[in-house]
């Protein structure tokens, strides 16, 4: 009698689901029964960094950088073509991650990516698509009608076809370092009313990655985007991108409150920039059910305060926003937090206006800064009896 244990194929597929694609393929040598399991796994992940080492080429380290990069990418695309050729069944989750650097023979790789995306779009089974690359995306990117999650990093797509009527079931849209026309962005949002998570972020260098062009949305503001986000639950945005949209004063609150919004993240926040602070307060006023607020403070914020004495005139004051309420806020997190007056006043305001607040987490630069901030906040009035203020310095431990 054989003592071999045969696992159900469904269980094997679940075990393989979370392995890197190259590891999944290697399981084909385990036995005859395992030889073709990898061809049915619906999750596919290809990462360029996994093709860095080449034991068959002893002179790889001596090759010029561009030649090594070309060799690595050729292996990546060959592996993808072979995998897709032999793969059976639907691909539900596809990830391609290539190093985002300065353009170098970009057009060559764009053609390869175009072919792969076209192949996937024709199969029309992908629900989650993650793409990290500097390529210009082809029109086939708008043909993934089963998508629920779309994550793009470093890509560029400026025009959407007039026939594009949305992805059907898209609930998550993540755009970072993406070069996109404002008209295309509005077109995408307006045709995907089921979006629950929307992230739009640019680089830390402050470069503009939203391209303005002359169209009917030329005067659109950042506020206009929320018309197309009726069920949004998570929103992440770089506040410096406000200038990429049409001008005009920000309203006190949105015309339609974001009743579903639970999580708000704003990058490059600086309270000395009045428009940015007004946008933050606008979002707070318009989000009656907000549970988590995360602010990543601008590195320029610390430098600005070198020009202000403690009693100097401040462009804005927190007293202007004493009417805000955060009835459901549970967590406040602020990164690169400095001990200047406006930063501390904002935290004090949140403490006083949040009756169910549990955690205030402040990421600071040094242990001395951390202790200074905690001493300043320890006696501040708090609406919540259970709130815990945590300071974390770089490389340090949490301090309460």
CB 290 within 8 A of CB 329: yes
Establish if 388 belongs to a structural domain: yes
pLDDT tens-place string over residues 231-251:
999 999 999 888 777 666 788
Domain with 375, as residue range(s), is 283-308+316-400
φ and ψ at residue 360, rounded to 5 degrees: -120, 110
Query: Does position 400 have pLDDT exceeding 70, yes or no?
Result: no
Pair type for strands 128-132 and 149-153 = parallel
Establish if 392 belongs to a structural domain: yes
Query: Where are the strands (E) in the chain, listed by range?
Result: 43-47, 93-97, 128-132, 149-153, 156-157, 172-176, 179-181, 197-201, 210-211, 234-238, 263-269, 292-297, 331-335, 359-364, 388-393, 398-399
Q: At what angle do helices 106-123 and 65-86 cross, to 10 degrees?
A: 10
Q: At what angle do helices 341-353 and 367-377 cross, to 10 degrees?
A: 50
Establish if 60 belongs to a structural domain: no
CA-atom Rg of the chain in angstroms? 25
Residue 318: per-residue pLDDT: 62
Residue 207: per-residue pLDDT: 43
User: Which pLDDT band, with edges at 50, 70 and 90, does 346 fall under?
Assistant: very high
Average pLDDT over residues 102-127: 80
Query: Does position 305 have pLDDT exceeding 90, yes or no?
Result: no
Establish if 6 belongs to a structural domain: no
Pull the structure tokens for residue 381. 């009035």
94: nearest Cα among 149, 57, 52 = 149
How many angstroms separate the CA atoms of 250 and 236, rounded? 18
Establish if 63 belongs to a structural domain: no
Establish if 169 belongs to a structural domain: no
How many angstroms separate the CA atoms of 195 and 397, rounded? 37
Pull the structure tokens for residue 40. 């049915």
Number of domains in the chain: 1
Average pLDDT over residues 83-98: 86
Half-sphere exposure (Cβ direction) of 358: Cα atoms closer than 13 Å: 5
Residue 366: per-residue pLDDT: 83
pLDDT tens-place string over residues 276-300:
888 999 999 999 999 999 999 985 5
What is the number of other CB atoms lying within 10 angstroms of the CB of residue 84?
16
Average pLDDT over residues 331-335: 96
What is the number of other CB atoms lying within 10 angstroms of the CB of residue 163?
7
pLDDT tens-place string over residues 20-72:
566 665 555 455 555 556 677 788 888 887 665 554 554 545 456 556 666 77
How many angstroms separate the CA atoms of 69 and 307, rounded? 46
User: Which pLDDT band, with edges at 50, 70 and 90, does 303 fall under?
Assistant: very low
Maximum mean pLDDT: which of 6-10, 177-181, 380-384: 380-384
How many angstroms separate the CA atoms of 71 and 102, rounded? 17
Say what the pTM is: 0.83
φ and ψ at residue 188, rounded to 5 degrees: -65, -50
Residue 19: per-residue pLDDT: 58
How many angstroms separate the CA atoms of 368 and 354, rounded? 28
pLDDT tens-place string over residues 137-175:
889 999 999 999 999 998 888 788 888 989 989 999 999
Mean pLDDT of all residues belonging to the chain? 79
101: nearest Cα among 149, 140, 49, 159 = 49
Q: What CATH number does the domain containing 398 carry?
A: 3.40.50
Establish if 389 belongs to a structural domain: yes
Establish if 109 belongs to a structural domain: no
CB 273 within 8 A of CB 297: no
């Amino acid at each position: 009698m054989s003592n071999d244990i045969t696992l159900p194929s469904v269980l094997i597929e679940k075990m393989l689901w979370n392995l890197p694609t190259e590891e999944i393929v290697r399981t084909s040598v385990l036995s005859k029964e395992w030889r073709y399991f990898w061809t049915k796994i619906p999750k596919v992940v290809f990462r360029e960094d996994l093709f860095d080492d080449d034991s068959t080429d002893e002179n790889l380290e001596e090759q010029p950088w561009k030649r090594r990069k070309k060799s690595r990418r050729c292996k990546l695309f060959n592996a993808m073509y072979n995998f897709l050729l032999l793969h059976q069944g639907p691909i539900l989750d596809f990830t391609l991650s290539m190093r985002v650097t300065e353009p170098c023979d970009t057009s060559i790789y764009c053609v390869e990516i175009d072919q792969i995306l076209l192949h996937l779009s024709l199969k029309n089974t992908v629900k989650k698509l993650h793409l990290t690359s500097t390529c210009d995306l082809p029109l086939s990117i708008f043909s993934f009608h089963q998508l629920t999650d779309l994550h793009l990093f470093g890509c560029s797509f400026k025009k959407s076809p007039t026939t594009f009527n949305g992805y059907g079931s898209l609930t998550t849209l993540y755009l970072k370092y993406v070069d996109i026309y404002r008209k295309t962005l509005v077109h995408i949002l307006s045709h995907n009313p089921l979006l629950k998570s929307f992230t739009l972020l640019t680089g830390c260098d402050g470069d503009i990655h939203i391209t303005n062009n002359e169209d009917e949305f030329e005067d659109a503001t950042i506020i206009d985007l929320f018309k197309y986000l009726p069920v949004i639950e998570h929103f992440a945005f770089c506040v410096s991108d406000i200038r990429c949209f049409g001008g005009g004063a920000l309203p006190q609150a949105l015309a339609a409150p974001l009743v579903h919004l639970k999580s708000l993240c704003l990058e490059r926040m600086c309270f000395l920039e009045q428009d940015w602070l007004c946008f933050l307060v606008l979002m707070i006023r318009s989000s009656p059910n907000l549970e988590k607020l995360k602010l990543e403070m601008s590195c320029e914020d610390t430098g600005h305060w070198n020009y202000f004495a403690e009693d100097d005139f401040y462009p804005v004051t927190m007293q202007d926003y004493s009417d805000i309420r955060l009835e459901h806020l549970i967590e406040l997190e602020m990164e690169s937090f400095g001990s200047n007056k406006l930063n501390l006043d904002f935290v004090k305001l949140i403490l006083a206006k949040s009756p169910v607040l549990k955690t205030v987490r402040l990421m600071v630069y040094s242990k001395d800064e951390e202790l200074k901030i905690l001493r300043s906040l320890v006696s501040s009035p708090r609406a919540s009896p259970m709130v815990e203020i945590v300071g974390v310095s770089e490389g340090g431990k949490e301090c309460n």
